[in-house]
Amino acid sequence: MAKQVAVIGSGVMGHGIAQEYALAGYTVFLYDLQESFLLKAKRSVENSLSLLVKEQVISEQAKQDALERIVLTTDLQAAVAKADVITEAIPEVIEMKWDLFEKLEQFAKEDAIIASNTSTFSIARLIEKAKTPQRIIITHFFNPAQLVPLVEIVRHEKTADAVVSRTMELMVEIGKSPVLLKKDVPGFIANRLQTALMREAFSLLKEGVADAREIDTVMKDGIGFRWAFVGPIETADFGGLDTWKRVIDNLAPELNASQKAPELIDELVEKGKLGTKTGSGIYSYADTSVEEKWKQRDEQFIRLAKMKRG
């Protein structure tokens, strides 16, 4: 099993992935292009770990130990030279990923696993220029990576079986719930399900069926409440397949079938209103800080995780 790992890219996903490895006892080299990016990531990890201490998930000592295991560096070769597993978490630009993989194949140990956190590209696309495709695999963490248990694992026919099994074992070791896809499909599983639901939610909003807060309430206190413990396929079994046949037959023709992002999202993006990252989106955050909203979300995720584990 891995003893030292490297995470390339310290942004939203990268720092969370680094935190998970560090908490599980692994030395983590966290790489980025600029020291300022790394210092911001370190603050994010400290804040996240402090929240786990507050919620009595980890001890103060565990927090300090995890922080000491994370090594910040702007030297790519030094970051990956001794790593058993390397996780790429850079922007979704294929040319950037190809360039990085070329360097990783040059700098990394021959038996190091190279994992991508991509949520956009197929593994066939990722390995197009690879010299050692047998050790490349996708480990798609779900945001926030340090709190959401899911990791989608995607292999290629060229990916070595040993790499797949080692990766699955490692994800379990760091406390994740890995799912190995049997086929490489765009969006994998989670984003396909999420996109289908989002499309219908925005359609209902556009048609004036309900406002955003009411639609979100339906999800949080109805569907999402149930889905936290019983998945959609289980729900069909519990409700009766004959019942769900009638529901789907009756409603499927009525559902939104658009092939692009909703007009409302297009309009807001054009205005620079991107949500929490800019301070306004569908909702206004004028009366509260975005940081406080993120903190509240993470507290709730932590408590849900504790409940599910219990």
**Which residues does 168 contact at the CB level (< 8 Å), separation at least 6?**
153, 178, 180
**Is 88 exposed, middle or buried (CB count within 10 Å of its CB: 0-12, 13-18, 19+)?**
buried
9 labeled binding residue = yes
13 labeled binding residue = yes
Check: CB of residue 150 under 8 Å from CB of residue 175. Answer: no
CB count in 10 Å sphere of residue 223: 13
234 labeled binding residue = no
12 labeled binding residue = yes
10 labeled binding residue = yes
CB count in 10 Å sphere of residue 255: 11
Distance separating alpha carbons of residues 193 and 142, to the nearest angstrom? 13
- In eight-state DSSP terms, residue 280 is B
Q: Minimal CA–CA distance to 26: which of 75, 87, 89? A: 87
Distance separating alpha carbons of residues 114 and 134, to the nearest angstrom? 10
- The helix (run of H) or strand (run of E) holding residue 236 is helix 232-239
Check: CB of residue 74 under 8 Å from CB of residue 27. Answer: no
216 labeled binding residue = no
User: Which are the catalytic amino acids?
Assistant: 119, 140, 152, 191
11 labeled binding residue = yes
Check: CB of residue 29 under 8 Å from CB of residue 6. Answer: yes
The structure tokens listed for 308 are 């599910």
92 labeled binding residue = yes
Check: CB of residue 301 under 8 Å from CB of residue 16. Answer: no
97 labeled binding residue = yes
143 labeled binding residue = yes
Beta bridge partners of 138: 116, 154
Binding positions for NAD(+):
9-14, 32, 92, 97, 119, 143, 277
